[in-house]
Structure formats: C-alpha cells, structure tokens
C-alpha cells in the first residue's frame, strides 16, 4: 500500500504565512544596519582605528541586553500566551528602531540597541509557535526552515534598503535640487530606519487582526483583535459572494487532520477550564542532558555566526593597506575599501542565493540525511571558512570580490543547514510541550550572550589586528573558537518529535487515554 506524503493543512499554512509577515520586519531592520554602521559611527566622530571596536559594541549591545530578558519572555509566553508577547516585542523593536535612526551620538545609538534587546524575545516565541503548529517530525524540516527563509528574504531587502538609503546627501546628491534639506544633514541615517519601520507596522497590524494563539491553555481565550479581523474577512467574503463558513476566532489554529476530532469533542466546560492560565513546570525540568547539549551548541553557533556577519562588513568597508607594509603570508592588514551601497549589494545577492538554497536544497537533503548529520557537517565547515576569509585581501584585485562572494556562499549554505537543524534537535529534546516556550526562552538567552560576546570580542580583536598589522588575528581566533564549539555536536542524538504529546493530553482530558501509550505517541500524518 502506498503511503501518502504528510502535508500541511490549509489552516496551518495560512497561520504560518501570517507569522512570517509578523517576523519579516525584524531581519529587514537588523540587516539594514550592516552596510552603513561603519559610516554611521565615523559620522559620530569616532577615530578610524576605534570604529571596528564600536561596531562590535553596537552589535553586541542588543544581544547583551536580550540575555537578561530572554528567559522572562519565554516564561511569560508559557503563562500569558505567545501572541501578546510577540506583539509586545514587535512594538518595542519598532520604537527602538526609530530612536536608533535619529541617534546623534554613539551613546544614543547603543542605548537604542540595548532597549531593543530588552523588549524582544521574539526568536524563541516564533520558534515555539512553529513547533506547536507542526509537531509532526516528517514536516519539521520544512516548517522549521520557514523562519530562516524569512530571515534570508529579509537579508535581501535589508542590505539594499540600508546601503541605498543611508546618508542620501552624500550618496545621492542628485535627489536634491539646490540646497539639501537640513533634516538629512542632522539625521543622515534616519531614512532606512523610517522605511524599515513600515514593515513593523504591517507586521503588527497583520498579527493583531489575523494571528491566533497557539498555546493550548490560552487559545480559547477571547481575542478582540482576532474578532475584528474575522469581521474584516467576513465582509470581504460577503462582497465576493463566498458564503462558506469562517472559523470563529476561538477555533484552534493548531488542528491537524489527526487531532481535529478530539478537539471538536471537548465540551464547553473543558474549554473554559483550559482557557485559564496555568503555571508552567519548574525551569529545572527543562535541563535534560540532551537539551543542555543542544542549548550549548545553539549558543556557540549564534556566537560565531553573528561575529562573522559583523566583522565582514567592517572588513569590506575598511580602507586598503599599502602593499609595501605587508610581509606575506601572515603579516598584512587593511580591507577592501567598499562603499555602503557596494556592501549592501553584496549581502543582498548573498541573501538571494541563500533563499534559493533554503527553498530547494535544505528540505530534501535534511529529510534524507537527518537533522543531526546535517548539523555535524555544517558545524565543521564553519572553521574552514573563517580560517580562509582574511586571505582574500591579499589576492589580486580582480579576484578579491569573487573570493569573498565564494566564501559568503559556503557560509550561507552552512548556516542554512545549521540553524534550522539545531532548532529541530532542540525542540525535540524538550521534556514536554508545557516547557517548550521556557526552553526556547533559555535558548534565546544563551544565544543572546553568545551574540553579545562574539561581536564585542570580535570588534576588539579586529582593531588590535589592524593596529599590529595582523588581519588574520580575529579570523583565526574565531576559527579556533568555532572548531572547539563544534565538538559538543558529536554528543547529540536525534530524538523523536513530541507530536504525540498534544494528542495524548487531549485524550487525558477526554478520559480516553488507553493503557498502551505506544498507540498514542508520535503520530505522523501519512
């Protein structure tokens, strides 16, 4: 008998699209900064030899502050629901984005980044929502590749937006007839942030009106925004003479074909009981051996990946060194001397190719090899990439940009496999669904510390390497740290998904749990 391939239900697809719209603004805002941050800090009057250090500090400040609140947002989402915490994070990030764009000194810019980190735990919350929407292991590679795909798509738009719109008076004098506006003289880097804020407005509006709660204990609670969104849908459906019933705003968006019958049989009394906030299990229960190793791996992965992404634009923008000062093969410094628009263009092409790989290469290869094997391969590819990166500077000029592009492509492929696979393994190592938000909150917290330490130390070592004439210093230190960080991956095992956990819980509520738990665990859509 031929078994049918598991498929996403239309309901889940629509909710994942809405979640993607909510998430899209953040990668646009984050990646739009890279092309112009070097020039922004120079505009603040920071000496050239100190710019790389402050670029690292500015990048790190977001993650450093996120470290202190990541667990809080995870626990809050387990208690109060995923949607309100997600909307709150988007609102805070929108506010900080505008403050950053209108910063007039380095302290103000760093403070804006710090505030953004304090109010934003959305990475873990979005990951938790995806896990609750799609518990089936067969569907997880495609489901968990969605958010990296959104990040990749945003990383196409962001660098173009940042590189093209930053400092328009300098980069686009033809835009202004006569004397340039005083506004752009005072706030030369405000325009990309103003445009990026529009994506947040779209995401917030879409989420408030159409995104449903995924936490089991809160999904039946009345949602004013969702109710209004339902009325909007009904209005346009009536205008198109489509009289099909629209699911009420209290209908679960997590129903799959395998669990809809159970959910439909839950009585009104049980729904009211389920809608009451419940305390999540103690945090200590989240730390099993496998979940702890997964957390360590994810933290180190975040550390070295963001450090590379922060140092490379600085290297691309840094002025070239006089070749007479070099003593090859190891003593050389300088950079490529690219403009912000060139840097933005490079990273946008990098994003386009990454998006193609995310859609067409990642799911089939991960389904064939498994998440763990893909994570191991990509983890040991990173150190080689970082080791080779600085030598692109000493290549003949016509080969420099192709070399950087090739390194970016290999790094992109490694990252496209590493992050979703690490997320799948971490999610499936959760002891229970009731701790999933907490576990992802812990992951965000630890990854935030990695993203804070990495760019800060990377910026310091980059500045030190330039001063002493050894550009290889920060890259080789990064390569060594990455290799050591890849070793714990060898201790991981590929656990089964928790697809059966929700069905089992529903069966318990109905009093229908059978003695043989093997019949209720791990259902996979066929």
Mean pLDDT of 436-441: 78
Q: Give the C-alpha separation, 449 to 444, whole Å.
A: 9
Ordered by where they begin, the domains of the chain are 9-235 (1.20.1250.20), 284-510 (1.20.1250.20)
Q: Are 424 and 28 in contact (CB under 8 A)?
A: no
Q: Give the C-alpha separation, 496 to 520, whole Å.
A: 14
Query: Residue 273: which residues within 8 A CB-CB, separation 6 or more?
Result: none
Rounded to 5°, the CA angle 457-355-390 comes to 35
3: DSSP letter: P
Query: Residue 375: which residues within 8 A CB-CB, separation 6 or more?
Result: 297, 417, 418, 421, 422, 425, 489, 492
Q: Are 295 and 442 in contact (CB under 8 A)?
A: yes
CA 376 to chain centre: 20
Q: Is the pLDDT of residue 522 over 80?
A: no
Q: Are 32 and 151 in contact (CB under 8 A)?
A: no
Q: What is the predicted pLDDT for the residue at 335?
A: 87
Q: Please, which pLDDT band fits residue 198 given cuts at 50, 70 and 90?
A: very high
Q: Please, which pLDDT band fits residue 273 given cuts at 50, 70 and 90?
A: very low
Could you identify the residue written with the tokens 């009585």? Answer: 267
Give the range among 225-229, 269-273, 309-313 with minimum mean pLDDT. 269-273
pLDDT tens figures, 489-517:
999 988 665 544 444 444 434 444 444 44
Q: Are 524 and 137 in contact (CB under 8 A)?
A: yes
Among 138, 132, 134, which residue's Cα sits nearest to residue 5? 138
Q: What is the pTM of this model?
A: 0.66
Mean pLDDT of 176-197: 87
CB atoms within 10 A of CB 508: 11
Q: What is the predicted pLDDT for the residue at 4?
A: 58
Q: Give the C-alpha separation, 272 to 357, whole Å.
A: 45
Peptide bond preceding 329 in cis form (omega within 30 of 0): yes
Q: Give the C-alpha separation, 182 to 188, whole Å.
A: 10
- Between 387 and 453, the more confident residue is 387
- Between 59 and 415, the more confident residue is 415
What separation in angstroms does the CA of 322 have from each of 163, 303, 315, 467, 473?
27, 32, 15, 14, 19
pLDDT tens figures, 82-134:
999 999 999 999 999 999 999 999 999 999 999 998 988 888 888 888 888 88
Rama region for 30: left / alpha / beta (φ>0; ψ in -120 to 50; rest): alpha
């Amino acid at each position: 008998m031929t078994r049918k391939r598991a498929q996403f239900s239309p309901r889940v697809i629509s909710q994942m699209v809405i979640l993607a719209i909510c998430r899209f603004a953040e990668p646009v805002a984050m990646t739009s900064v890279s092309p112009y941050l070097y020039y922004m800090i120079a505009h603040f009057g920071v000496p050239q030899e100190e710019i790389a250090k402050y670029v690292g500090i500015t990048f790190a400040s977001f993650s450093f502050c996120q470290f202190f609140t990541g667990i809080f947002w995870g626990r809050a989402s387990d208690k109060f629901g995923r949607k309100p915490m997600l909307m709150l994070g988007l609102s805070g990030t929108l506010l900080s984005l505008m403050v950053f764009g209108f910063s007039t000194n380095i302290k103000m810019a760093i403070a804006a980044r710090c505030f953004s980190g304090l109010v934003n735990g959305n990475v873990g919350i979005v990951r938790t929502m995806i896990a609750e929407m799609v518990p089936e292991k067969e569907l997880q590679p495609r489901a968990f590749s969605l958010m990296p795909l959104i990040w990749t798509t945003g990383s196409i738009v962001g660098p173009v937006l940042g590189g093209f719109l930053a400092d328009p008076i300098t980069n686009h004098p033809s835009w202004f007839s006569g004397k340039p506006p005083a506004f752009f003289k005072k706030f030369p880097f405000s325009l990309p942030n103003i445009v990026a804020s529009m994506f947040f407005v779209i995401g917030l509006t879409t989420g408030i009106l159409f995104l449903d709660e995924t936490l089991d204990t809160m999904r039946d609670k009345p949602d004013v925004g969702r109710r209004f969104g339902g009325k909007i849908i009904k209005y346009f459906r009536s205008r198109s003479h489509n009289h099909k019933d629209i699911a009420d705003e209290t209908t679960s968006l997590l129903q799959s074909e395998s669990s809809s019958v159970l959910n439909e049989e839950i009585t009104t009394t049980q729904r009211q009981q389920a809608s009451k906030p419940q305390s999540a299990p103690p945090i200590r229960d989240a730390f099993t051996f496998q979940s702890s190793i997964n957390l360590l791996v994810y933290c180190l992965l975040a550390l070295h990946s963001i450090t590379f992404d922060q140092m490379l634009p600085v290297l691309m923008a840094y002025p070239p060194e006089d070749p007479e000062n070099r003593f090859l093969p190891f003593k050389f410094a300088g950079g490529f001397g690219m403009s912000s628009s060139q840097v933005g263009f490079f990273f946008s092409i990098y994003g386009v190719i990454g998006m193609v790989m995310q859609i067409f290469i990642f799911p089939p290869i991960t389904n064939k090899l498994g998440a763990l094997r893909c994570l191991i391969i990509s983890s040991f590819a990173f150190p080689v990439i970082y080791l080779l990166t600085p030598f692109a500077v000493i290549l003949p000029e016509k080969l420099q940009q192709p070399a950087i592009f090739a390194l970016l492509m290999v790094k992109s492929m490694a990252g496209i496999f590493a992050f979703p696979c690490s997320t799948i393994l971490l999610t499936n190592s959760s002891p229970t669904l009731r701790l999933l938000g907490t576990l992802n909150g812990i992951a965000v917290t630890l990854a935030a510390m990695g993203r804070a330490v990495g760019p800060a130390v990377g910026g310091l070592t980059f500045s030190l390497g330039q001063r002493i004439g050894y550009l290889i210093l920060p890259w080789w230190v990064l390569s060594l740290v990455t290799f050591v960080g890849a070793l714990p991956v060898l201790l991981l095992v590929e656990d089964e998904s928790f697809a059966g956990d929700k069905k089992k819980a529903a069966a318990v509520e109905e009093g229908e749990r059978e003695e043989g738990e093997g019949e209720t665990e791990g259902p996979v859509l066929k």
